[in-house]
Amino acid sequence: MSQLVGYARTSTTDQKAGLEAQLRDLRAAGCTKIFHEELSALATKRPELDRMLDYVRERDTLIVTKPDRLARSTADLLAIAKGLETEGVTLRILSMNVNTATPTGKLMLTILGGIAAFERDLMLERQREGIAKAKSEGKYKGRAPTARAKAGEVKALKAEGLTGDAIAARLGIGRASVFRILRAD
């Protein structure tokens, strides 16, 4: 028996309204099982995505509201779609009215994935240009270096015998930052 399965994701736990909207749209599309998570697509592990991919079966349809909720990049989207196709699972993307059950849907997915990547590249280019302009006008200082400000605390905790991981956890900074500070000596 085929099933409509939904997947929703927001980048942060602060985006409750975005998650609620996705869940509402997936229910309206008829999803009887929905997987959702609140973490960046750039996260190395997306446990609910993995659970969903293990859950779907041949003749199921996976429904997402937008492609960026499912994939990190165009290549990632196409790889996930190919994996689903191999398993006999159809992919529907509501915002684009794409359904990979049809040849046209498969073509549209590839084309729209390319357009999405193009738009993202344009946005990043405009962002870089804006930052460069703000820097030249002395209006952009960048992000405050949070880890470097804690260098004294890092060194003191290391002197107390704490491990790099323990220091990072205690100070709320990245492990790599801890080791970068310690190597600087």
38 pairs with which residues across the strands?
10
d(C-alpha 156, C-alpha 170), whole Å = 12
| N-to-C CA span, the chain | 63
Q: What are phi and psi of 63, to 5 degrees?
A: -120, 130
Q: What are phi and psi of 9, to 5 degrees?
A: -150, 140
Q: Is 136 a catalytic residue?
A: no
Q: Per the residue annotation, which of 2, 11, 40, 95 is the catalytic one? A: 11
Q: Identify the three-state secondary structure at position 34.
A: strand
Residues 6+ positions from 27 with CB-CB distance below 8 Å: 6, 34
Residues carrying an active site annotation: 11
